[in-house]
Structure 1
């Protein structure tokens, strides 16, 4: 990369100083988009969480965004949703986040998320106090898009039906008993069905979802929040069980299959959330999404496409077109909270400097500590690519970094805007030195994103 090319990027870069007005150009570019997808280059970096929170709070406070949807399991996130809306028994944000017990707990049980959830609760309380005066819309919600909570979601469906429809609960319990042979271990189900498809619970989980969907269709178009939300929560958990069953059943058939099933579920969840909020609000909602770069960046601009993979970012662009805006994050070096293997303890690891020929190295050479690229016409940019791009998930293996954490991408096609923070530090978990074990583990090696 020549100095004139680097100088061209410097002219386009918007430095980030930490001031409130830093993201004014970004909000102008976002315009009237209803879906803003905020990425991260790792699952354990303080600055990525912090800057996403800064952008999100402005979108909520200034642009009227209605919900935050994150790369987390639906039941765990829904506990936070109830807390931020003031409808749970949790006493504070830390208690509300205790639902995140599955590895990697630090993804959502960390100091930055704690602060953001606290802000969201306070914002909603202020919004509710004003609503009696100016008729403002319902409080902002917090939802999960992921699909690993197979057994937890079954328990939530049963909990709902035991109150709303005891006879329906009996039928659901009989259907879900199909999983009793696997001891609450989703991986055991994956191995069993991988060897013998006749052991599948596919028919049972599909019928349970259809029953709840039929129940939802019987409700009027506009219903009281308590009734509509409780049924929507149960229906989404039933959808998750159906998709998670399919995911684990295909786990042994290869990574491409399971990756696509997972991101398709995320898209289904986002669309269901869009429809439900529209029903509640009486208008099209606005939703912020927090996920890894590998999910929110358009897969068609990366190696993923050549492997036959798609992702949430690609599906959102195809479905919502100009109503969507996605933002990626990069870093050159620093530290990160990550594990050495799946289900291993969290460690503070040193992030190696970006590899030669990577976007991380390119942006380091710009010599601006923190900056943003938001220009609309990116066709002539020196950073168009393709170049190497780094992805650190919950597992970081610097000893095999090129193989485990880099892929080729055209960054200006992958994202609408990019935020680069040259040196970053590890996110602070709420727990220290706690072993995390779970039978509900994803099949996302080597990235674990």
Structure 2
């Protein structure tokens, strides 16, 4: 879905796939930076205005600032490869996600340098969105980028939650956990955040570079031990030493820092719910912060769908179950597929062809994990169509190959980078 795309109009007679896609498009449109950022801009300061940022939406956010800022402006933001937007006054750099690279390390170092030496008349506008933690990777003293890359890969494959991963990242970083805002002192720092994390905790979004951090080295060490991660040794030993804590609540260097949450998963779910109502559906928002293993969440969602089909509870048909959050995948197979494809394939297996139940699961940033699709759509005939092609849903699920399964059925949802990110979107449509 290109930025600025208007969701298609649907009616009660629209096909299930059209209804699902329109709801997803509405969820994305509700979080587009060009729409949401301008209304939250601070007043022009007496001194300089420095724009910095990191995340999958940061370039589009920078463009929104630039287009609506009448005073002097300069800055640098880093976004994912393929997510850049042209700006005239703000430099846009691309880097790797979800595993950091040298471009992200260099960008982080330059961002930190840009906010140093400012005074009380200056303003820093920090544009923070999901993905910023990997994109703005500046290792703590004594660590290398290779150390961070190795630990990041281990965390991604472990099944650790986003909160857990970012806790560890903050304690291996020279810029996260409030350190970026502290470096800008005594300038005013206004952070505009697009949330991609369950609960919208600003200290978790991009590992909280401009907000205080309540977690500790001990917390980070407990996480790597929980998942039995023992390499790289340099990173583990850094956590064990516990020297150079993140910036804590009440620190004077954060007294001139504030934040505004400009887009959240809940806002996008509500936008999707309105589209559903216009199509004669009853929307039920199950939650915007649902976490857990993708397969387990899918089994629970399948159970709720069966309850609706059999008993018209918790809502009468036709209805749609909407949810957001971020599931995890413990990788055991060798197939392709992000957490949304995994969720949807597990849901398909659990529903076992239940008539009248259709679903979409996709990442609002347009990229499911590291693949080229946002997610996929499963209809009530998906299993039978797969069987006709000789494709086993259960075998594909065992191999973590949701991408391969839905690709074989031409059921992938492909949007390209949406230039925003309010986490995963799931819709289970239950018809008459």
TM-score between the two structures when normalised by the length of structure 1: 0.31
Q: Which has the higher contact order (CA 8 A, sep 6+)?
A: 1
TM-score between the two structures when normalised by the length of structure 2: 0.32
Higher strand share: 2
